[in-house]
Amino acid sequence: MDDRSGGDGSFVAVRRISQGFDRSNTCQTSSAEVVAGSAAWLGRGLSCVCAQSTEDDSRQSFDLTPVQEDCLVRLQNRLDVAYDSSIPEHQESLRALWKAAYPEEELHGLITEQWKEMGWQGTDPSTDFRGGGFISLENLLYFARNFPKSFQDLLWKQEGDRSMWEYPFAVAGVNITFMLIQMLDLEAVKPRTLVGATFLKFLSENESAFDLLYCITFKLMDHQWLAMRASYMDFNAVMKSTRHQLERELLEENITRLEDLPSYALLAR
């Protein structure tokens, strides 16, 4: 995508986002960075949104059943796996993601300009996985395999009246993984929010619940993006709105499984 320049050429297109986020919750995005168009705000700014909470986490704790505790530990083990480009399984997963996204286009290497087509910041997607780990790649691959139509619709921005300056598909996907980890408080020994405790009930009944919720969230985020008539400078606000909507849906009384969430209806296989 070409640069979008003002009088001084300061703004860059969304596909040229710089480093992804890290999980240290650093909330130090400066207005100068946004004005300069470095787009670093997309990663670091998001952690500020995700860290916000309407509940007092320090005063809450929810006990787990043995099954829920076991499921949480297995999910946390997935969260601990960093993407490693030297591991064959990780290489194959990355190739599989490309093939799912572009079945008719041959991938010329794990480091290639082609990756920018999917919305990675550069020629090597591994640099964008540092914040989300290997699970962020697994999430994207699960989405591509289980909801191929929705995956392709988002990849190609095929629905709605869209902005000229869109969010980058792949980097947005890693941001969603990171947001869900924070929202559900998955790195805690036991959940400290009602949303996190509710999710663990779903996880104990469906071990793919995190991957499924990821797909729902990605589709919901795009739905919010269109409803807000957003452009790339609005990404943080869209993510915040998406999180709040998802929290509300998870806490509805009639929700007994993720497929009952109103936003699940947005997904198409």
Each residue of 124-174: pLDDT tens digit?
999 998 878 999 999 999 999 999 999 999 999 999 999 899 999 999 999
End-to-end CA separation in angstroms for the chain: 29
pLDDT value at position 24?
Answer: 36
| Beta carbons of 204 and 71 less than 8 angstroms apart | yes
Q: What is the pLDDT along the chain (269 residues), one digit of tens a residue?
A: 333 333 333 222 233 223 333 333 333 332 222 222 223 334 433 333 333 444 444 447 789 999 999 999 999 999 999 999 999 999 999 999 999 999 999 999 999 999 999 999 999 999 998 878 999 999 999 999 999 999 999 999 999 999 899 999 999 999 999 999 999 999 999 999 999 999 999 999 999 999 999 999 999 999 999 999 999 899 999 999 999 999 999 999 999 999 999 999 999 87
pLDDT value at position 89?
Answer: 97
pLDDT value at position 235?
Answer: 96
Contacts of 251 (CB under 8 A, 6+ apart): 194, 195, 198
pLDDT value at position 268?
Answer: 85
Contacts 24+ apart (CB under 8 A), 199-204: 199/250, 200/64, 200/68, 200/71, 200/72, 201/68, 202/257, 202/258, 203/68, 203/71, 203/72, 203/75, 204/65, 204/67, 204/68, 204/71
CB atoms within 10 A of CB 253: 5
| Beta carbons of 246 and 214 less than 8 angstroms apart | no
| Beta carbons of 161 and 115 less than 8 angstroms apart | no
pLDDT value at position 242?
Answer: 98
Helix axes of 169-183 and 209-227: crossing angle, nearest 10 degrees: 120
Measured at the CA of 89, the angle between CA 84 and CA 92, to 5 degrees, comes to 100
The span from the CA of 34 to the CA of 38, in Å, is 6
